[in-house]
Structure 1
Amino acid sequence: MSANQWDAEWDVTESLARRLIDSQFPDLSGEPIEAIGYGWDNIVFRIGSDTVFRFPRRKAAINLLEREWRILPQLAAHVSIPFSRPMYRGEASVDFPVSFLGYNYLHGRYPIGLNDEQRILSTTALAVFLRQLHAFPLGTALECGAPLDHRNLLDLESRRRRMLELLPSLAGHMGEEAYCALRQYLLAGGVNQAADKRVFLHGDLHFKNMLVDEDGLVSGIMDWGDMNVGHPACDLNVAYSYLPSKARQRFFDEYGVVDEETKELARLIAAYIPMLIMLQAADKKDARITAAAIETIQRALSD
């Protein structure tokens, strides 16, 4: 049994990925391969200069990739920020028990180490992107298998309670000031239950699923497996997790009308997601991602 929720159930090595890709996609045979990242659900390999493959690390990822295969091809005409589109579908075999996907490679880097002015550059782009995404037809999304609020985000009280349960695990990785600020924020409470609102969502919008160009402008959105129909605050968390406080009003002006309850939920999610990222990063002794997660929480709580 896995010790942590993010532990891999399948170990996909570079040699295994090479063998699987070569056997099913001869046109990619011989292209150089490099492991470039991993998350809770998938490990990612770059093939040549134009393609990436994502292999599930856990059973939970199987349906997420299937969802991407069905929905993402229909999304291209609706949004303005580039995203990875599935182009190859690898089937289960004796070497690997589940399917896997290949996508176009997005150039860029994680938005880590950006200053406030660089982050502000993406204010309008992010607001317009989310306005477009949240207008995607719900009927189409549901027909393609997008679930309804699968994370139960409307229950803010339970979310705060869960975050308080996680806090002691983070104590050794956060400075005292950052830790106390997060604890005080959670203990202060607020709205306990948000009103139900439904839009089509990316569902997991955070710094490890975003790319920026050399100027720091957002250039790509990745990992769409958590797409669902739910509360817009789930994605609007970027107003707090990504943008400095002085850019938020312009973001909301560009996006459209957002009530205070939605903003409160968005801020809570902006603090919650990096807590989860930090737990995995600390376990893997990834100091860079751990530091970025802490910085994200501090930015989310700033006014």
Structure 2
Amino acid sequence: MGAGISTDAIDTSLVRRLIAAQFPQWADLPVARVESAGTANAMFRLGEDMAVRLPRVEGAAGDVEKEQQWLPRLAPSLPVAVPVPLVKGMPDGDYPWPWAVYRWLNGETPVAGHIADPGQLAKDLAEFVAALRRIDPEGGPDSYRSEPLAARDTTTRAAIGELREVVDADAATAVWEAALGAPAWPGPAVWIHADLQPGNVLIADGRLSAVIDFGCLGLGDPAVDLIAAWYVLPAQARGVFRSALERDDAAWERGRGWALSIALDELRYYRETNPVMATIARRVIHGVLNDADHDANPAPDPHHGHGHGG
């Protein structure tokens, strides 16, 4: 990942200096920090209509160029707004990496337990994922999460071991092994966002209004984007999401494995340093294991023999 810059070092005065030096036409606009639990970038509002995003770690600096290249091409095919960059800023003095200015996108990030219409959000997310997948992948880069699940086996099992005191290790191992045993994606790699977490989704007027932070964007297994089922949606809306995408059992198992693996890694990394990220990771792990338990031990159907197919 490389060296990082502390949150305190990337402040409004730094942003004002960068803007004044490189884009003086905006030098008089107000600058305000946008609070976020994200760790890769710092975000600031510039005036009413723009946002400035500066990488905080070297590994995120390359994402600026990727978004500059690909988001303008992908945006016209997507059903909701994405952060199309206006200009790219350059390293300058005490700030070492490229950075960018985007149009401001209105909306709020979803909060667990406070989503007004989870079913509608599930349909909107499914529409976004499906639209992204349909875009011609020619020339696209590999996603940050383009590897097969099996490549994550060692680190995922290590995380389960380290978190044994806070995670049901036997249940997590069973879910992980079921995901590893699922048939692999048989098709060519497709466009995936690969990080559909609450902080990267915006809702306005009860509907999905934007998807942001495409740092993990690229080509990979479409099952990776199924992590939204556990990261963003409550349990009662996951079936709506799955049905709208027509995902088969194998894809769902792989998606659940991805959600578990990512959340375990995040909990291990952030549990002492980032309470928001750690809380989300715990909720995802609980949801994944609870879903798997229900799948293995379904409740008896009081209307057995009168159900519907699907």
Contact 2:2 2:59 in 1 (8 A): no
Alpha-carbon distance in 2 for matches of 1:235, 1:118: 20
Q: How does 1:215-234 map to 2 (within 5 A)?
A: 215=206, 217-234=207-224
Contact 1:53 1:101 in 2 (8 A): yes
Gaps of 5+ in 1: none
Structure 1 residues 7 and 22: CA distance shift in structure 2, 3 A: same
1:91 equivalent in structure 2 = 90
Q: How does 1:22-101 map to 2 (within 5 A)?
A: 22-36=20-34, 37=36, 39-101=38-100
Partner SS, residue 134 of structure 1: helix
Structure 1 residues 167 and 14: CA distance shift in structure 2, 3 A: farther
Structure 1 residues 76 and 189: CA distance shift in structure 2, 3 A: closer
How far off its partner does 1:168 sit?
4.9
Partner SS, residue 84 of structure 1: coil
Q: How does 1:172-187 map to 2 (within 5 A)?
A: 174=166, 181-186=171-176
| 1:104-140 deviation per Cα after TM superposition (whole angstroms, max 9, x unaligned) | 112222212335763222121111111111011111x
2:289 equivalent in structure 1 = 301
Alpha-carbon distance in 2 for matches of 1:129, 1:283: 34
- Which range is displaced more, 127-136 or 232-241? 232-241
Partner SS, residue 89 of structure 1: strand
Residue identity in the other structure for 1:147: P
1:202 equivalent in structure 2 = 193
How far off its partner does 1:56 sit?
1.5
Alpha-carbon distance in 2 for matches of 1:94, 1:84: 26
2:204 equivalent in structure 1 = 213
Alpha-carbon distance in 2 for matches of 1:188, 1:263: 11
Gaps of 5+ in 2: 292-310
Contact 2:162 2:268 in 1 (8 A): yes
Structure 1 residues 135 and 152: CA distance shift in structure 2, 3 A: closer
- TM-score computed with the length of structure 1 as normaliser: 0.82
Structure 1 residues 113 and 205: CA distance shift in structure 2, 3 A: closer
Moved over 4 A (4+): 168-172, 187-190
Residue identity in the other structure for 2:31: I
Structure 1 residues 138 and 50: CA distance shift in structure 2, 3 A: same
How far off its partner does 1:162 sit?
1.3
- TM-score computed with the length of structure 2 as normaliser: 0.80
Partner SS, residue 98 of structure 1: coil
Residue identity in the other structure for 2:24: P
| 1:62-99 deviation per Cα after TM superposition (whole angstroms, max 9, x unaligned) | 22110100111112210112222111211222332221
Residue identity in the other structure for 1:76: A
Structure 1 residues 50 and 170: CA distance shift in structure 2, 3 A: farther
Q: Does 1:131 align with 2:130?
A: yes
Structure 1 residues 195 and 292: CA distance shift in structure 2, 3 A: closer
Alpha-carbon distance in 2 for matches of 1:241, 1:301: 13
Contact 1:53 1:102 in 2 (8 A): yes
1:105 equivalent in structure 2 = 104
Contact 1:267 1:301 in 2 (8 A): no
Q: Number of residue pairs matched?
A: 287
How far off its partner does 1:231 sit?
0.6
Based on CA coordinates, which of the two structures has the bigger radius of gyration? 2
Contact 1:241 1:300 in 2 (8 A): no
Structure 1 residues 266 and 188: CA distance shift in structure 2, 3 A: closer
Q: How large is the RMSD of aligned CA atoms in angstroms?
A: 2.8
| 1:132-157 deviation per Cα after TM superposition (whole angstroms, max 9, x unaligned) | 11011111xx2xxx323553432x33
